[in-house]
Structures are given as structure tokens and as C-alpha cells.
Structure 1
Amino acid sequence: MKTKYLLSALAVAAMLASPAWAKNLTLPVVSKGYQHEFFQTVKMGTEAAAKELGVTTSFVGPADETQIAEQIQLLENTMAKKPDGILLAALDANALAPLVESANSRGIKVVTFDSGVNSDIPASFVATNNVKAGAQAADALAAAIGNKGKVGVIAHVAGTSSAIERSEGFTKQMKEKYPDITVLPVQYSDGDPQKAMDKTTDMVQANPDLAGIYATNEGATLGVANAVDSLGIKGKVKVIGFDSTEAIIGFLRAGVLQGFVVQDAYQIGYQGIKALDDAINGKTVEKVIDIPVKYVSMDNIDDPAVDKLLHPFGKKK
């Protein structure tokens, strides 16, 4: 009889430990927005990881990357639903930090991606090494302008860690390696292509000897490229961008861009959900998960590996 009860107990324990009986974790994503293809691809990565792990996810974000108050409200609303964890890309590293602390006090695990917060609370930060990527962009632009001249930076959103680090990595590399290159003060565009275009136009008009421009995200890159093309200074002012869309690829092939740094957005989303799931389940998670970037130019854009990175789901027909 004791053996029978023991076997029954073991069977129940096994069922409870199996995926079918395990709690279906809820792991929502609060992003910086939807407006760029980068975040649409991140979303695909989060959904793929959620399906594989058997968890539930969702994806929300503000209308654009200037709406810090809206993102705060979205995060508060998400926390009120008492999820098991939250994957967050913060529009402002300082403004979002108190909410991350609040989530932690409620027992909600947090992992950040793309742009982190000024707090040690998140279990992990999944992103490009933005300082290193900025330095890589500096090397590319320096080579394009012959290691001398005046260059500008059109960044995306002031206050986001990604904009700060990509700009600082670029500026530091230029200062340390290229003494004959002068870097103008960073201009912020809110990641808005029209604002980036206007900032670029103003920069070119104020600096007729401008040799090159570095743009730090998708929106900034599109704006800079459109300005350079419209002003008829293609080739005269060299441009290195960041992130990839079909339009950005088109600007590269047309010679408006000399190259761009591309992130693996799908893997950022995928690894973000995986890290969050691991943290909740008590597994060891790296504090920083670096998703490598690739510099793309006309020298390698047609390589199969690069094409796969640019079109993770195949080219649109």
C-alpha cells in the first residue's frame, strides 16, 4: 500500500514538473515604439522565443521615441496586470529606473534590451555593444574621408543609452585614433527622419567643408541620406548609418551611404525573452548579453551571410 501511495505521489510530482502542468508565464514587452523596422523585427524574435518556450508575450510601445510619459504609462499599465516578467527598452535611462525598481519590489522580473536603465535591478541587458559599434562606425567614416576633415553626428533620442553610447563610442574613437578629424557637437533628431533631414541640412549649410556624417539609428540614417541626396552632395559628404531597411540598402547601392552598422534585431528580441524566462526559472543569466553587429558596405552586401542578416525572413516580394 505504501508503495502504491509513493508511486502516486511521484506521478503527481512528475506531472506538475512537466511543461503541460507548469505555469504559463506571461512576459510582455514594453518597447521604445513600433515606428522603425528594427522594433518590428525585434517583435518577431520575441514571438518566436515565446512560442518555443511555451510562454505568453505581447508587444506595446509609444507612438514615437519622444513620448517618455506615454512609455511610463504603458509600463505602469503592464505592471498593474501582474506579469511574471517584463522585457523593456527604455526611452530614458533615468526616468524609467524608478519603475524598474517598483517592478522588482512587486516580484516582477525585468530584463532590458536595446536601451537600458540606470539601475542594477534588471536581470540582464540584451543589446548591441553600442560603444564598440560606434567605434566601428568611426573607423569606417575615417577611412571613407581619408582620415582627415570635419564630421558631424546626427543621433536619435537624447537620454537613451543607445544614442549616448553610439555617439560616445564614435567620438572617443575619432579623438584617440584620428587627430586630423574634427567631430562637431552631436545633434539629436528624436529618431525622426524629417528632423534628421532638417538637422543635416542645417549642418551642411553651416559647415561647407563638412566631410562626413554618422547617423546613429534607422530614422537618423534615413533623414541624413535623404538630405545628402536632396542637396546633391552625394559622394562629397560621406555617410555611415546605423540599422537597416530596404530604403537604407537602396541608399547604399546608390552611393549616398558608404556603409551602415546593422544589428541582429531578431536575436535581440529572441534572446531577451529567453533571458527573462531563464531568470524567472532560477537559471544563471549573463548580466549583459552582447548581440554582435555587422558593418555592411558594397564590399559585402551581396554575401549570403549578410543577406540573411538583412532579410531574416527572406526578401519582400
Structure 2
Amino acid sequence: MNYRNVLAASTAAAALAFASAASAETWTIGITQNNVGVDSYQTTYEKAFIAAAEANPNVEAVVLDAGGDVARQIAQMEDLIQQEVDAIIIWPTNGEAVIPAVRKAHKDGIPVVVTNSNIAEEGFPFVKSFSGPDNITQGARAAEIMCDRFKELGIADEAQIVEITGQPGYTTAIERSEGFQNRLPEVCPNVTLLESQPGDWNREKAQKVMEAFLVKYDDIDGVYSGDDNMGVGALNAAKAAGRADKIVFVGATNFAVGYEAMERGEYWGSIYQSPVDDAEAALQTAIDVLEGKDVPFLNYFDTPKITQENMGEFTKPVF
């Protein structure tokens, strides 16, 4: 039962007595996700979130999906505010466009936790905590993976690469690209980034982007993709063109398809990230906020490097 509804339905004295018990027993937590259907990571995240909420007798969850539509997500935020949920978790469709809705929740006294991909910095005053991966560090680690491989192959002083990023305007895409592009010249200053184009987290689009790169550039030594879903799309394009064996593929968020491609020796490395950990961390962060615990603003979980050389240390992703 929602605490505020109970409070409104009771006399003042009875409500205050009941609120003390109710607030410790049941929280109504709403979540609006980015786009569950776009990839298996988000699908697995949703299932894990629902499972974690159902396993916690103190939580009632309202689970929504924006389907990648900013306007829909803003409407969902407004709906959750109208429902007077105790806390809102948002996986932003766009890090800037959702700020007014987040600000409204904050103004109405509803704490907001951002999950997986942070909102733009101007929205930070309206957010209690961000729970998710450090995407800049992920990008930097991917650059290190690629540079180390180029050094092993003896081409670090001449390699040319292309990049396939995620959805434009999406904080994760921006930060992973930023981390990669800033770190690469520090570790491999002579590697040339030929071009960067968005793949929108979509394997088929990434494959088309890579097809265009292969036509445009005769010499491509490496591909960095913002996630393995797009990375495998790029790999498929290179295989069809007969050029995959000469290209080092590095991604992020190690999907099962990326792990399998690494097993086959076709895909070099990625960043290991669990959607289950992601979902459970977001829910726990919201609960901790509601319980008045001291929660760090940037509540990161670790995402280590994974390559063909150390993949035996990691279980195959379930997504």
C-alpha cells in the first residue's frame, strides 16, 4: 500500500502512527526504462529488476518502458509523479531531454535514481544518485585493450581504426566514445581514428555502417563499438567482405554473441558488464535512498576488461 494514500485516508494521528510502520515495510518504486526491445541487455535487465522487486516484500514496483521515445518517457515520468510513488528510477532515453521531468519529480518530493546511463550534468541537482557503470572508464579500458593488441601485432605505430557509437544524445554513447577517444592517444599516440558514426545500439544498423566504412577505407586495422551487439554487426560486415581476419574488434558490454565470437577467435575484446548486477544495484540504491542511508552520488559497479586471453575467468553472459 502506498504510504501517501494511507496518510490521506486516515485521521492525522492514526496516519502518523501507521506511516512509521508502513514506510519501513512497503515502498512503491516506479521505473521508466529506455528501450527494452532494442537489445538483449535491456531485456535481461528488466527481467532481473522485476525478479529483484518480487523477491523483496518491502517493494511494490511499477515497471514501464519508453520504447526509445523521449516523449513517452516524459509522459511516464509525469504518470509516476501523479501516482505519488515513493521513488522513481529512470534509464534515460536522452540525457538532456528528460531533465525537466526529473526536476518536476524532485520538486514534488520524489527522489530520483538514474540507472545505467546518466543524465546531463545540469540535471544532477535533481537526482539522488546514479547507479550503473562508469562509461568513461569503460571507453578508456577498451582503448587500452585495442592498443595492447596492436602492440602485440606490431602495428601500433601505423594502425587505422573506425568507431561505431551508440545512440546520439544518449549519455552512455557519449561517455564511452569520450573515454575511448581521450585514452587512445595517451597509450597509442600514432593510431589514427579515421571516422566515427552512430550505430544506435542496433546490430543491423552497425553492420550497414561498417559496410560503408569498408567501401570508403581500404585499410582498417581496428573497430571500436560502443557495445558488442553493434560490434558483432561490424564483424558480420567484415566477414562478408572477406576482411575480418585483418581487423581487431573491440567492444563494450560483453554480450553472449560477443563472447561466442571471442571463443571463435573472431572478436578480440570487450568490457564485462552484467545487466543483472545493473538492475539489482539500481533497485537497492533506490531502497537505500528511501531508508535514508548515505548513498554516493556516483554509485558505480566494476566492469573489468575481457579478451580472448582471459575470457576463461568469466562466465558466458546470459544476454
Taking structure 1 as the reference length, what is the TM-score of the superposition? 0.86
Secondary structure in 1 aligned to 2:251? strand
Q: Distance between the aligned counterparts of 1:59 and 1:241, measured in 2?
A: 29
Counterparts of 1:245-264 in structure 2 under 5 Å?
Answer: 245-264=255-274
Secondary structure in 2 aligned to 1:28? strand
Q: Residue 186 of structure 2 aligns to which amino acid in structure 1?
A: E
Counterparts of 1:175-186 in structure 2 under 5 Å?
Answer: 175-186=185-196
Secondary structure in 1 aligned to 2:164? strand
Match of 2:317 in 1: 310
Q: Distance between the aligned counterparts of 1:272 and 1:53, measured in 2?
A: 17
What is the Cα deviation at residue 218 of structure 1?
Answer: 4.1
- 1:155 maps to 2:165: yes
Counterparts of 1:60-209 in structure 2 under 5 Å?
Answer: 60-63=64-67, 65=68, 67-118=69-120, 119-120=123-124, 121-146=126-151, 147-148=156-157, 149-209=159-219
Secondary structure in 2 aligned to 1:27? strand
What is the Cα deviation at residue 94 of structure 1?
Answer: 0.8
Match of 2:7 in 1: none
In terms of fraction of residues, the more helix-rich structure is 2
**Which of 201, 211, 214 is the aligned partner of 2:224?**
214
Q: Distance between the aligned counterparts of 1:17 and 1:106, measured in 2?
A: 21
Structure 1 ranges of 4+ moved more than 3 A: 13-19
Match of 1:295 in 2: 305
What is the Cα deviation at residue 193 of structure 1?
Answer: 1.2
Q: Residue 205 of structure 2 aligns to which amino acid in structure 1?
A: K
1:185–1:76 distance in 2 versus 1, CA, 3 Å: farther
RMSD of aligned alpha carbons? 2.3
**Which of 38, 42, 48 is the aligned partner of 2:41?**
38
Q: Residue 111 of structure 2 aligns to which amino acid in structure 1?
A: K
Give the length in aligned residue pairs: 295
Q: Distance between the aligned counterparts of 2:117 and 2:295, measured in 1?
A: 18
Q: Distance between the aligned counterparts of 2:180 and 2:223, measured in 1?
A: 11
1:53–1:263 distance in 2 versus 1, CA, 3 Å: farther
Q: Deviations over 1:218-240 (max 9, x none)?
A: 43223212212222222211100
What is the Cα deviation at residue 278 of structure 1?
Answer: 1.6
Question: Could you list the runs of 5+ residues in structure 1 that have no partner in the other structure?
Answer: 1-12, 313-317
Match of 1:59 in 2: 63
Secondary structure in 1 aligned to 2:195? coil
Match of 1:285 in 2: 295
Q: Contact (CA 8 Å) 2:162, 2:195: kept in 1 or not?
A: yes
Secondary structure in 2 aligned to 1:56? strand
Q: Distance between the aligned counterparts of 2:180 and 2:190, measured in 1?
A: 15
Q: Distance between the aligned counterparts of 1:45 and 1:14, measured in 2?
A: 34
Q: Contact (CA 8 Å) 1:46, 1:269: kept in 2 or not?
A: yes
Taking structure 2 as the reference length, what is the TM-score of the superposition? 0.85
Secondary structure in 2 aligned to 1:95? coil
What is the Cα deviation at residue 208 of structure 1?
Answer: 1.0
Q: Distance between the aligned counterparts of 1:60 and 1:152, measured in 2?
A: 35
**Which of 200, 223, 226 is the aligned partner of 2:233?**
223
Secondary structure in 1 aligned to 2:261? helix
Q: Deviations over 1:20-72 (max 9, x none)?
A: x8452111211111122212332244234422362011332233x4x322322
Q: Deviations over 1:126-181 (max 9, x none)?
A: 11111111111001111223323111110111111111110010001112221110
Secondary structure in 1 aligned to 2:117? coil
Q: Residue 145 of structure 2 aligns to which amino acid in structure 1?
A: A
Q: Percent identity?
A: 22
